[in-house]
Structure 1
Amino acid sequence: MADVTITPLDPDEEAFLRALGKVVALLPRVVDADMLEELPISGTDYTVLVHLSEAPHHQMRMSELANMCGLSLSGMTRVVNRLEAQSLVTRQKCPDDGRAWLALLTDPGWKMLEQAWPTNLASVRRHIFSRLEGCNLAAAAEALERIATP
């Protein structure tokens, strides 16, 4: 990096970065609070159930699931332990890799997902989409995807 000139952020860049940081910190907390007010699962738990429901055979390697949910493998293990204690998910050894574990959505997990969907939908509509009226959501989604893609 010998010939790289580093320029400070301009006011718009600084404002965007600070607002993005606030959203990243705040959004999971408010969705969790909404979910836990009505159900025995958090927003993170709900996200895990969603990803498993969309996976082939409703199962996924723990490492892949962690990556999809933006968690470390140890963080995902804690979430799956919590879901397993509620019989919403089970774990089994991966048949083609004895070192890996699969998380599997159970029938009670599917029922919980169906029960939790309206609460989650109301929460994201209230905390996100109600505040974005008039915004170009497709452009915003594209911009966020660019940030999220390494």
Structure 2
Amino acid sequence: MTLLRDEGLTAEELAVWRMLQRAQVRITRRLESELLVAHDLPLASYEVLMQLAEAAGRRLRMNDLADRVLLSRSGLTRLIDRLQRDGLVTREACPDDARGLFAVLTDAGAGRLAEATPTYLRGIRTQFLDMLGNGEMGQIRAMLGRLDAAGVTGAAASAAGGGAP
């Protein structure tokens, strides 16, 4: 196909890319479905609660939390609004920055997270980890580590005016 050659991709390279996308979407959709059915908790909400639970003082600045859960600032704000309405998080002013806000995990949020975590972990096991053969965990970890490092390097270069990643 001319389009593939024009962009320097082989059919196999494009197929691998598409397989990666499909696998990620399939696994994410199943995790989301399991969390919604069992706990009425969307995957993005679970991820926010988990990040807060793992943070010192069960709190993170909104900007840091958005980066960790891969949401836009506005998307995170809307999600935190919903979680706050449900009593799972609160917002607190940042004492050293009048414009900054912390998202803080409540006891109710920690309880909801504790209830949902076995479902989440079981989903990861059955939808991903059980599919791996001997030695593949290390191979995948190494590959994803390279992709993650390249993304960080590319983002830093772009922010510094160094061009596209």
The interval holding the TM-score normalised by the smaller chain is 0.7 to 0.9
Unpaired runs of 5+ residues, structure 1, are: 1-5
Equivalent pairs, count:
145
What's the offset of the Cα at 1:22?
1.5
Residue 123 of structure 1: aligned partner: 123
Residue 39 of structure 1: aligned partner: 39
Match status 1:66 vs 2:66: yes
Instruction: Work out the CA distance in 1 between the residues paired with 2:86 and 2:33.
Output: 19
Deviations 1:107-148 (A, max 9, x none): 111111111111111111121112223352122122112222
- Structure number with the bigger relative contact order (C-alpha 8 A, sep ≥ 6) is 1
The list of structure 1 runs, each at least 4 consecutive aligned residues, that deviate by more than 3 angstroms after superposition, is none
Identity of aligned residues (%): 33
Residue 132 of structure 2: aligned partner: 132
Instruction: Work out the CA distance in 2 between the residues paired with 1:27 and 1:37.
Output: 15
Residue 9 of structure 2: aligned partner: 9
Instruction: Work out the CA distance in 1 between the residues paired with 2:37 and 2:135.
Output: 30
**Structure 2 SS opposite 1:102:** strand
Residue 163 of structure 2: aligned partner: none
**Structure 1 SS opposite 2:33:** helix
Residue 3 of structure 2: aligned partner: none
Q: TM-score, normalised by structure 2?
A: 0.80
Unpaired runs of 5+ residues, structure 2, are: 1-5, 152-165
Q: Which has the higher helix share?
A: 2
Residue 161 of structure 2: aligned partner: none
